[in-house]
């Protein structure tokens, strides 16, 4: 449990690319709802999940809603803990400058330790 | 040229049905013919008339129905896969029909090309 | 013939299997498969090897959706849905490596 | 101990809903409690009362309904995901109810464990 | 096109393991129907698809129908061309003796050539 | 904590990712994930390395369904659904590597 009674540490683990499947979009919908419950929320972007945060998504050609601006709105919901896997970025030729939002880049080991400290993990 | 199309995933969860739809539109725009679109596996869920996506999202089922209405495209839902997943005449969207797997094989025989969209 | 790959090379073996089985021909990357068309990744050299045996295409709308349109590896041709139809028409058969 | 369960895939296409069901049965058999089973993404398709699998196959939807009836397990279908996929009161199987995503968050808060089954 | 007019070469490409997903089972249902249309049918088992043919499947514990005996019935439908990827077997520690039915083991290159000769390919 | 993997190690990177991120703990293989528990495959040594850091379990009914029950790598413990429940109960949290 987290320090405050009644507050749990929720981590959302995102490991999938956007658009190929709906998981990224529907995960974001859960995150926004969770914010209303005053829990300790963090998001982890691992593996292909880092692609969710890529700048410059233009979805007109696939006739699908571009939901990437929503990541920018998370701050307004007091969701500020966004962790991104360092090795996943590097493998995909990405740097923090390629991302839509400010994030904390952590290596896998650090992410694994953080995951161990959670009360609830939701993986999509 | 005659195209047959196989759609193996349902709407929204996977991009397969979006890609299949946009491919079909391009097939017609190029002056080709669509012999049949066959919906198999979770693809049968593309035929549910009860879907109601958010206002700002595309309506996948309605798009298929419109394609059938405007271009006479034959949209066939596999009966066995549909029964397993709860698609029946009572919740079938306009433009779709339920039939057997033989319709897929026939598409393979009659069409010049068969393209599969799935996961 | 035409080979179609719709999976990310970082999470799935689909592209690997495709190029190991197919002797060559046309290869089209669609959906999450287009990540393999992006330069500067760990799959970059792998794709450059593939280009020696295959004519490689990537679906433009899928590249744009994922913010990859400006990072295409040299030698990969972006196509729109009409180009996708042409690729299918011009090959006798196609195989989707799902 | 109280368990929360999240099911992210529909019946038959993926094993996820089978595993989730067999896990739930074992949870109850071990004397634990199920706070809630939440169906999200294609998982909402587990709630279609129109499914009719072959005689020699398991009836996934009916199994869930029976679990609700016999053990009072709360089966909640996400309304937003359900609307996208055509699951509504008119085709909802017995024992399921449609509600918001808050019910999933509540399960995370109230249950001692939350286990996700998906693809 | 195949030698006889009106007969096409159909190949079913199976690349997925059984039970984790329904593709293997529902692919088999298409194969059986296709047999009734007097086409030239072959099945190729690549990658995890080779697991479909594994002996000794016992599905009571997962409360799901064991459909593996159906592969044995294919012969009765005059479906006798079953090709299995040599490298896939080796990678998974399997030999022909581990399989339910008689098959033709081909290496990847040979399978790729065979695939090129088809009129229709259905992949699940 | 408990890590759950349900994908074949031959077609997906899920198990790789799991063991690279997680420092150790309990690892349960279910569904197509149980193929990683089979001896004599190219993933055999990889799994033996994993066993040095993780307590590894495999869901028995999934092993049996796939005909693998007699090929379990030494050191991997088969569990039934009741054992699966115990593993979840005994760990504070679990993560499904979908």
At D65, which CATH number?
A: 3.40.1260.10
- Interface residue of E40, E43, E116, E121 to substitute, partner C, most C CBs within 10 Å: E116
pTM attached to this predicted model: 0.97
For residue C54, what are the β-bridge partners?
C25
D85, containing H or E segment: helix D79-85
Answer whether F31 touches D (CB < 8 Å).
Answer: yes
CB E21 within 8 A of CB D15: yes
Average pLDDT over residues F77-97: 98
Output Rg (C-alpha) for chain A, integer angstroms. Answer: 14
Chains with at least 3 CB pairs less than 8 angstroms from chain C:
A, B, E, F
Angstroms from F34 CA to nearest CA on chain D: 13
> Of residues B78, B81, B87, B98, which has the active-site annotation?
B78
Give the whole-angstrom CA distance, residue A109 versus residue F79.
28
Give the whole-angstrom CA distance, residue D18 versus residue E20.
10
Chains with at least 3 CB pairs less than 8 angstroms from chain D:
A, B, E, F
Of C36, C14, F66, the residue nearest E47 (C-alpha) = C14
Contact A116 F25 (CB under 8 A): yes
pLDDT at B39 over 90: yes
**Which structure tokens are listed for D51?**
């499914």
The CATH number of the domain where A86 resides is what?
3.40.1260.10
Contact E47 C1 (CB under 8 A): no
| pLDDT score, position E106 | 98
Angstroms from C94 CA to nearest CA on chain A: 20
Which residues of chain F are within 8 Å of residue A109 when distances are taken between CB atoms? 21, 23
DSSP string, A102-118: --EEE-HHHHHHHHHT-
Average pLDDT over residues A51-61: 98
pLDDT in tens, E20-72: 999 999 999 999 999 999 999 999 999 999 999 999 999 999 999 999 999 99
Judge A/B contact: 3 or more CB pairs < 8 A: yes
pLDDT in tens, A7-44: 999 999 999 999 999 999 999 999 999 999 999 999 99
Give the whole-angstrom CA distance, residue E83 versus residue E106.
7
Give the whole-angstrom CA distance, residue B61 versus residue B48.
7
Is residue B24 among the annotated active site residues?
no
D56, burial (CB in 10 Å: exposed 0-12, middle 13-18, buried 19+) = exposed
Could you tell me the residue range of the domain that residue E107 belongs to? 9-123
Which residues of chain B are within 8 Å of residue C96 when distances are taken between CB atoms? 115-118
Contact A29 D80 (CB under 8 A): yes
In a domain, A105, yes or no: yes
Q: Using DSSP, state whether A14 is helix, strand or coil.
A: strand
Kind of pairing, strands D2-7 and D75-78?
A: unpaired
CB A115 within 8 A of CB F95: yes
Of D46, D49, D62, the residue nearest D91 (C-alpha) = D49
To the nearest whole percent, how much of chain D has pLDDT over 70? 100
Longest C-alpha distance within chain A, in Å? 48
Nearest residue in chain F measured CA to CA from C11: F13
Answer whether F8 touches C (CB < 8 Å).
Answer: no
B91, burial (CB in 10 Å: exposed 0-12, middle 13-18, buried 19+) = buried
pLDDT in tens, C65-92: 999 999 999 999 999 999 999 999 999 9
Of F10, F65, F66, the CB nearest to E91: F10
Per-residue buried b or exposed e for B75-84, using 16+ beta carbons within 10 Å of the residue's own CB = bbbbbbbbbb
Give the whole-angstrom CA distance, residue D75 versus residue D64.
8
Give the whole-angstrom CA distance, residue F94 versus residue A116.
9
Give the whole-angstrom CA distance, residue A122 versus residue D8.
11
Nearest residue in chain D measured CA to CA from B86: D51
Nearest residue in chain D measured CA to CA from F1: D113
pLDDT in tens, C14-56: 999 999 999 999 999 999 999 999 999 999 999 999 999 999 9
Average pLDDT over residues A75-90: 97
CB A111 within 8 A of CB F3: no
What's the number of domains chain F is made of?
Answer: 1
Q: How many CB pairs under 8 A join B and C?
A: 48
Answer whether B63 touches D (CB < 8 Å).
Answer: no
Given pLDDT bands bounded at 50, 70 and 90, which one contains residue E1?
very low
Contact B30 C30 (CB under 8 A): no
Contact A115 F21 (CB under 8 A): yes
To the nearest whole percent, how much of chain D has pLDDT over 90? 100
Which residues of chain C are within 8 Å of residue E13 when distances are taken between CB atoms? 95
- Interface residue of C21, C24, C96, C98 to substitute, partner E, most E CBs within 10 Å: C21
Answer whether D15 touches B (CB < 8 Å).
Answer: no
Q: Using DSSP, state whether F92 is helix, strand or coil.
A: coil
Given pLDDT bands bounded at 50, 70 and 90, which one contains residue A4?
low
Q: Which are the contacts of F79, defined by CB distance < 8 A and separation ≥ 6?
A: F28, F57, F58, F59, F60, F86, F87
What's the number of domains chain B is made of?
Answer: 1
CB A45 within 8 A of CB A83: yes
Could you tell me the residue range of the domain that residue F40 belongs to? 2-97
Contact D41 B13 (CB under 8 A): yes
Give the whole-angstrom CA distance, residue D34 versus residue D67.
11
Do the interacting molecules here have an ipTM over 0.85?
yes
| pLDDT score, position B63 | 98
Per-residue pLDDT tens digits of chain D, which is 119 residues long: 999 999 999 999 999 999 999 999 999 999 999 999 999 999 999 999 999 999 999 999 999 999 999 999 999 999 999 999 999 999 999 999 999 999 999 999 999 999 999 99
What's the number of domains chain A is made of?
Answer: 1
| pLDDT score, position A124 | 86
pLDDT in tens, B57-105: 999 999 999 999 999 999 999 999 999 999 999 999 999 999 999 999 9
CB B39 within 8 A of CB B54: no
**Helix intervals (H) in chain A:** 23-35, 69-73, 86-91, 108-116
CB E10 within 8 A of CB E118: yes
Average pLDDT over residues B17-33: 98
Answer whether C10 touches F (CB < 8 Å).
Answer: yes
Give the whole-angstrom CA distance, residue E108 versus residue D102.
50
Q: Which are the contacts of E6, defined by CB distance < 8 A and separation ≥ 6?
A: none
In a domain, A4, yes or no: no
Answer whether C28 touches B (CB < 8 Å).
Answer: no
Of D26, D113, D114, the CB nearest to F81: D26
A31, containing H or E segment: helix A23-35
The CA-atom distances, in angstroms, between A23 and each of A36, A94, A124, B66 are: 21, 22, 6, 27
CB B119 within 8 A of CB B43: no
> Of residues D7, D78, D81, D87, which has the active-site annotation?
D78
Could you tell me the residue range of the domain that residue D59 belongs to? 2-117
CB D36 within 8 A of CB D5: yes
How many helices and strands, by DSSP H and E, does chain E display? 4, 5
- Interface residue of A16, A27, A47 to substitute, partner F, most F CBs within 10 Å: A47
Distance of CA C54 to the CA centre of its chain: 10
Which residues of chain D are within 8 Å of residue F98 when distances are taken between CB atoms? 8, 116, 118-119
The CATH number of the domain where F67 resides is what?
3.40.1260.10
């Amino acid at each position: 449990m987290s320090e405050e009674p009644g507050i749990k540490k929720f981590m959302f683990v995102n490991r999938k690319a956007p658009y190929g499947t709906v998981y990224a979009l529907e995960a974001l919908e859960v995150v926004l709802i969770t914010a209303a419950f005053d829990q300790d929320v963090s998001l982890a972007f691992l593996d292909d999940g880092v692609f969710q945060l890529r700048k410059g998504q233009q979805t007109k050609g696939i006739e699908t809603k571009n939901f990437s601006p929503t990541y920018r709105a998370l701050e307004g919901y007091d969701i500020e803990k966004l962790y991104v896997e360092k090795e996943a970025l590097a493998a995909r030729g990405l740097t923090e400058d390629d991302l839509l939002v400010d994030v904390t880049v952590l290596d896998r080991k650090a992410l694994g330790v953080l995951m161990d400290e959670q009360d609830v993990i939701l993986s999509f | 040229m005659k195209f047959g199309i196989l759609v193996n995933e349902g709407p929204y969860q996977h991009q397969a049905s979006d890609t299949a739809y946009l491919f079909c539109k391009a097939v017609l725009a190029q002056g080709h013919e669509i012999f049949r679109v066959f919906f198999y596996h979770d693809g049968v869920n593309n035929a549910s008339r009860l879907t109601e996506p958010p206002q700002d999202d595309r309506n996948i089922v309605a798009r298929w129905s419109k394609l059938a209405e405007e271009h006479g495209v034959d949209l066939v839902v596999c009966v066995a896969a549909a029964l397993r997943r709860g698609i029946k005449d009572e919740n079938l969207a306009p433009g779709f029909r339920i039939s057997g797997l033989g319709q897929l094989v026939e598409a393979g025989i009659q069409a010049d090309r068969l393209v599969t969209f799935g996961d | 013939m035409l080979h179609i790959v719709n999976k990310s090379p970082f999470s799935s073996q689909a592209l690997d299997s495709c190029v190991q089985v197919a002797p060559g021909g046309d290869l089209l990357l669609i959906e999450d498969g287009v990540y393999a068309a992006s330069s500067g990744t760990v799959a970059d050299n792998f794709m450059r090897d593939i280009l020696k045996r295959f004519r490689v295409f990537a679906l433009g709308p899928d590249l744009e959706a994922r913010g990859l349109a400006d990072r295409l590896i040299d030698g990969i041709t972006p196509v729109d849905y009409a180009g996708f139809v042409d690729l299918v028409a011009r090959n006798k058969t196609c195989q989707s490596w799902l």
